[in-house]
């Protein structure tokens, strides 16, 4: 694999996710498995560029990473997040559990937030007549270690 390799726990998650890819009609390739393993062991959501940088040299090009991440997000195996600067970041859905993140502006420390007001927001969207709604919601601030 790349700079980070799957351990027993993440290998199981990756295999489960590969099955979801197959069920969605996507081919299971070494490149896709490497991408999923990289995301499975990541401490924080990663951008396409960060994911690519974690792969073993020559695994695949950056365009393939972008395309694969978008495909994975469309079928629900990855969750999309957005950094304060607008950069898209991705994390494994871990069984389709929807969550958000709290990210420190200074050091980049990321905390998982298991609270979501998405239903309320999407109800507001429906009240305007919108359909096929999705949302991306993230929190940003300074962690206790960076407040000085």
Model confidence pLDDT, tens digit, residues 36-58: 999 988 888 899 999 999 999 99
State the chain's mean pLDDT as an integer. 86
Separation in Å, CA 77 to CA 3, 42, 68, 69: 22, 15, 11, 9
- Verify that 37 and 107 share a domain, yes or no: no
Helix pair 8-23, 30-41: axis angle to 10 deg: 130
Number of domains in the chain: 2
- Verify that 14 and 79 share a domain, yes or no: yes
Tell me the per-residue pLDDT of 64-92, one tens digit each, with 9 for 90 and over. Answer: 999 999 999 999 889 888 888 889 999 88
- Verify that 112 and 85 share a domain, yes or no: no
Cα 90 from Cα 135, distance rounded (Å): 14
The whole domain housing 143 covers: 98-148
- Verify that 1 and 48 share a domain, yes or no: yes
- Residue 125 has φ and ψ, to the nearest 5°, of -60, -45
């Amino acid at each position: 694999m790349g700079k980070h390799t799957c351990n027993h726990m993440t290998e199981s998650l990756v295999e489960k996710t590969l099955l979801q890819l197959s069920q969605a009609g996507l081919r299971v390739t070494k490149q896709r498995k490497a991408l999923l393993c990289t995301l499975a062991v990541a401490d924080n959501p990663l951008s396409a560029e960060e994911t690519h940088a974690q792969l073993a040299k020559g695994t695949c090009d950056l365009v393939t990473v972008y395309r694969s991440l978008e495909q994975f997000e469309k079928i629900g195996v990855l969750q999309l997040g957005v950094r304060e600067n607008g950069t898209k970041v991705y994390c494994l859905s871990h069984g389709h559990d929807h969550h958000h993140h709290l990210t420190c502006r200074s050091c980049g420390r990321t905390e998982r937030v298991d609270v979501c007001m998405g239903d309320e927001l999407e109800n507001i969207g429906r009240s305007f007549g919108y359909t096929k709604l999705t949302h991306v919601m993230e929190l940003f601030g300074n962690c206790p270690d960076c407040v000085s």
